A and B are shown apart, each in its own frame.
Chain A
Amino acid sequence: MENISPLIKYFIGQGVPLDTVILLLMLPIVVTLIAFFRQVIGIKAFGIYTPAIVTFAFLAVPQLRYGVLIFVVVILVGMLMRFALKGLRILYLPRVAITLSIIAFSILILLSFGGSMRRTGLAAVSIFPILIMITIVEKFVAAQIEKGNRAAVILAVETLVISLVGYFLASWPLLIKGIVAFPWLILITIPINIFLGKWDGLRLNEYFRFREVLKNLK
């Protein structure tokens, strides 16, 4: 790297790996992005934690498509489990526990299947991103119960979209170079968030939601 800020040099000198420094400095940008999506565009996703953690899970898998594949499988199995467990009439936590277990088995099968197809990249995905993505199913099940299946699937898709945008942003070489060169720039996210927190205009999707009303207002 040609242009490294003295601050970053200091961190590295203290033994903090460069990747860790970059990821930690990337976090404010990713969460600001999520806040922007919620307040200005109106894409909700599962709160702020889930899309952020999925973004970093994507960053941690060797190939993005395997990350997306695991995410989709987790949500699909979560959806199927709702119907499978419907007749059982059991309480929330045991239900989530069973769902998590079945998802763990499914991912195991998926990984071994990938291995048999000689897609070694899939089996090489490290355990932590996998675990992170399995645990998001709790958010999904909770959304299913509270808001219904359709709404839960929409939220899951929104989470995937935000996480993908976050992924591409966080792996954008120019941005990484910029952070390494000028780490103080990260502080801009704070005034941006103050602005977002005071933004009381219509969200972009509300222009769509209220289109009939807008047509009617003269």
Chain B
Amino acid sequence: MFEIFKNGNRLLGMNARNLDYIRPYNRKKAKRLADDKILSKRMLKKGGIPVPKLLAKIRTVEELESFDWFSLPNTFALKPNRGYGGGGILVVYGKKKTFKCVSPDGIETLPDPVWIKSDGSRVTVSDLKSHILNILDGAFSLANMPDIAFFEERLTLLKLFKPYSYKGIPDIRVIVFNRIPVMAMLRLPTKESGGKANLQQGGIGVGIDLASGVTTTAVLGKGKIIDYVPGTRMLLSGIKIPYWKDILLLAVKSQEISGMGFLGADVAIDRERGPVFLEINARPGLAIQVANLSGLKERLERIKGLKIKTAVRGVRVGRDLFGGEVEEEVEEISGRKVIGTIEKVKLIGKEGIEIEIEAKIDTGAMSTSIDSELAKNLGYGDVIDFFEKIEFPRDFKREDAGKVEVELKKNYAGKHPDLADISIVYSSSGVTIRPKIKMQFKLDEVEIITLVNVVDREELKYSMIIGKRNLGKFLIDVNK
């Protein structure tokens, strides 16, 4: 019981967020900027941050009455300027085809355009009008203040995210404090959230490892831990977010521009434009802790008072402090490459023949061996034929193997230009006498020249195994 309260100290609650972070670090003026989406967008754009294009804004009822509905494209998002929590956003995905009407006296009129929402329902001009009236009236703004409505370019969905998200565009929320990214999550829209990515509306939040940009754990809505996208077998962990470093950098830069010390930055990825900054949030929600199964408070306290000079440096500190082990880093420190248990290998045979295959990395084997068929394809058919004609002693005892091997080497090694050596190999399938040939191959960009033994591996899944002797320059990650 006591343990729970002690651990509770590592989490950021509503009280601590408001009292210890928003109050002292986000001045009123900066907060007002964040709450004004049009203004903050303009500021960010000026600061060199890519933002969605503003199509039009409607400030008053008069502007609404005189608005040219034909000027709107087929797809757009309609938003309240001071909305919060994703409320009051209307997104259309296409325009219904409308036809010119010709009245009996020959006057052509074009009917008002009709758009389609994500759920297939129609949105007429009068629907838009009443929605905008509600926005102007302050129905979606903080404290019901009168508001402005604006139309904005709708971003296009990245192919990678397609199977994970329902209709809308996923975005990435990054909490930034003191120029350092502290925690991040991928927010996926669901059917329940009506294509919006906000967790309050029933979206999915997926925690992201700050160092690698790979997703970890996930939460549905306010607190349900899930592994898969509901109703599918799409695993939510292990998604690698593209442009990860750029996204973190955008988030930190937005903090510099906004003048707030503590904020939530929302970045989306457009299929054509890459990372696009959506909005800054002066009061970021706390559910990101559930998505990451990790506490914000302990992270924030660790970096309080650090002097970070540049955004790039802040990103690096954040990734180092709060990310898991980074592969690149491991490679940098150890000077060795990290590979998995199955890797693509490019074999270089005689006369420049190159064959690419998948090889098994086998730390249980001493040396590397390849299938005889593969060796033939690489141009070593001649030496294999030569080797097969040799008569070998049979049924020798294991104690004598060494002696037999020495004998064989003396008699045959070098007798054919390609036959570099002969070895007797004891393996799970019994004892075999194998020819060894000198060969060159490339594993993860590393060139290796070595002696490989040739054996019939037809029955086996991989036509090549790479043994310990050739793995000195690598670290093997069994999860890869």
Contact = CB atoms under 8 A, between A and B. Distances in A.
A213 B291 CA distance: 9
A199 to B, nearest CB: 6
Nearest to B224: A212
B15 interface: yes
Interface stretch (B134-142, B392-400, B417-425): B134-142
Interface size class on chain A is: 20 to 34
Contacts of A212: 219, 223, 225, 290, 293
Contacts of A89: 130
B11 A146 contact: no
B4 interface: yes
Interface in A166-218: 197-203, 206-207, 209-214, 216-217
Nearest to B3: A214
A207 B223 CA distance: 12
B330 interface: no
A210 B144 contact: no
A216 B7 CA distance: 10
A42 interface: yes
Given A92-B144, A214-B4, A209 B134 contact: no
A81 B335 CA distance: 70
A146 B14 contact: no
Interface in A90-110: 91-92
A62 B130 CA distance: 45
Given A91-B133, A217-B295, A206 B290 contact: no
Interface in A111-152: 142, 145-147
A32 interface: no
Interface in B1-51: 4, 7-11, 13-16, 19-20
B57 interface: no
A146 B20 contact: no
Contacts of B259: none
B245 interface: no
A199 B144 CA distance: 29
A216 B293 contact: yes
B113 interface: no
B223 A200 contact: no
Contacts of B138: 92
Nearest to A216: B293
B59 interface: no
Contact of A206 (B10, B13, B85, B140): B13
B139 A201 contact: no
B16 A200 contact: yes
Contacts of A147: 85
B191 interface: no
A145 B139 contact: yes
A93 to B, nearest CB: 8
17 contacts: A42-B14, A89-B130, A92-B139, A198-B19, A200-B13, A200-B15, A201-B9, A201-B15, A202-B8, A202-B15, A203-B13, A206-B8, A207-B4, A211-B223, A213-B289, A214-B8, A216-B293
